[in-house]
Amino acid sequence: ETGVTQSPTHLIKTRGQQVTLRCSSQSGHNTVSWYQQALGQGPQFIFQYYREEENGRGNFPPRFSGLQFPNYSSELNVNALELDDSALYLCASSPGGGGYTFGSGTRLTVV
Amino acid sequence: LAKTTQPISMDSYEGQEVNITCSHNNIATNDYITWYQQFPSQGPRFIIQGYKTKVTNEVASLFIPADRKSSTLSLPRVSLSDTAVYYCLVGDDRAAGNKLTFGGGTRVLVKP
């Protein structure tokens, strides 16, 4: 079982729309990261939050943004969706070392 | 961040031992070696992490030579349910701001 819960599990959006994906981490996990995984590829790092502040970002445009809340939940927001944004979006949390716990992901399809 | 190289795929049979070797020639002093397992449409699952020598847990062993430029994940007596993609990662996930960098992974197929 996993202590990280993501919602929704599946989502279909139209090109140009905006989407918000949600993640609920384990209590005490102050670090949360978001990843994008295209079909057949390894997960690609989007950004990371530590105690509600962004402290690391991958090679993704500004239309990918996030928030982390005091209750260990977080959000990934994507504006102006493009077809290439179709992927599995993964949230991972950590108490600060020793491995990350991943959620099962949100499958986003942009049409 | 240290880059990793691992085989694209491996086939095995039920009951056999599977060994996956990962190369990480430019590993830094503070870096740990971590392996994740991923099933289709699921998030990666932490398997094992080590710094040097040998680490063993209930599902796998991790062998790291003295120079730490490579590591080998050993899965004893695999079953069909071990069919998955296995990722080798190198980095210091204990440090704030450090991300996990995934490569392409090794697709392991366990046959009956």
| Sign of the alpha-carbon torsion through A90, A59, A62, A54 | positive
Query: Is residue B75 predicted with pLDDT exceeding 70?
Result: yes
Average pLDDT of B39-63? 93
| CB < 8 Å to B102, chain A | 35, 42-45
Average pLDDT of B16-35? 92
Question: Which of A33, A88, A103 is facing B100, going by the closest CB pair?
Answer: A33
- pLDDT, tens digit, for every residue of A94-103? 887 667 899 9
The CA distance from A79 to A57, in Å, is 17
The CA distance from B72 to A64, in Å, is 36
Question: Are B99 and A105 inside 8 Å of each other by CB?
Answer: no
- Residue B39 pLDDT: 94
Query: Is residue B42 predicted with pLDDT exceeding 70?
Result: yes
- Residue A1 pLDDT: 43
Query: Is residue A70 predicted with pLDDT exceeding 70?
Result: yes
CB of B104 within 8 Å of a chain A CB? The answer is yes
Average pLDDT of B41-46? 91
Higher pLDDT, B91 or A88: A88
**For residue B5, what are its two tokens?**
């190289």
Suggest the residue from B100, B101, B106, B107 to mutate for an interface test with chain A (most A CBs closer than 10 A). Answer: B100
- Residue A98 pLDDT: 63
Question: Are B94 and A41 inside 8 Å of each other by CB?
Answer: no
Higher pLDDT, A62 or B104: A62
Name the closest residue on chain A to residue B92, using Cα atoms.
A97
Single-letter code of the amino acid located at A33: S
- Residue B93 pLDDT: 65
Query: Is residue B92 predicted with pLDDT exceeding 80?
Result: no
Q: How far is CA B14 from CA A98, B10, B37, B86, in A?
A: 30, 13, 18, 17
Question: Are A102 and B44 inside 8 Å of each other by CB?
Answer: yes
Most confident segment among A57-61, B16-20, B33-37: B16-20
- Residue A47 pLDDT: 92
